[in-house]
Structure 1
């Protein structure tokens, strides 16, 4: 019957979200309250002698039922769209967290590698202390007349 009718899903979804958003406002409640008060007043007092919906207000009840039957699916549609957006956002957050974790793991390995490399390097203080020891040994050899020089050359 309606096979030729094409509905833009995104436009209809935006409409549903706007409708659901509007129904959750104080403005909507104020409009509905004013509408009900005017409806009841007009049907109890009578406007131009007409009372189109007498006391049990069956027509008003029918309007509310119709409104509810359309509002519920539109609200659910809006919630489903929000859930889909939240899911996409959550997936993006998870991917970002995984990438951050991989980056942190890589950096931790690099820092550990640098620390191990630095541990193998001679520091300035170490080199100075070794040079002082060698200088003392050379001075001691010079003072003793070079007796230990042959032993030192062999040790090297």
Structure 2
């Protein structure tokens, strides 16, 4: 039978830091507490935000969250079947009087959602009132871009 040697004792004190040279002197015009700004670039955001409006042939009651979810799911199911119904759609905000909604979808599914919503024509509560459809007013990786526009009117 093979014997195992007991572990050797090691020093429990480790140096807290190693100095690699003299510390640089702070610049006279900067305070030692100031934090330098960091730049951040998001190359592939996880979500895409959509600004939508529900259009109908005849006057409709104000839009609510349940109607929004039902019509979005109907449009995606008609376009992509069960795969479309499985796409995660988060309703961020609904404006009932304007019949507008802001939703969030995964970035990889965004083009399929836009295609499904823009090609869908559903029926309203009664057949004589005509059809309803979603209009995509804007979409982008950041909600501020679709809420405030492209900024082209500033220049």
Identify the TM-score tier after normalising by the shorter chain: under 0.3
Q: Which has the higher contact order (CA 8 A, sep 6+)?
A: 2
Pick the structure with more helix per residue. 1
Q: TM-score, normalised by structure 1?
A: 0.17
Pick the structure with more strand per residue. 2
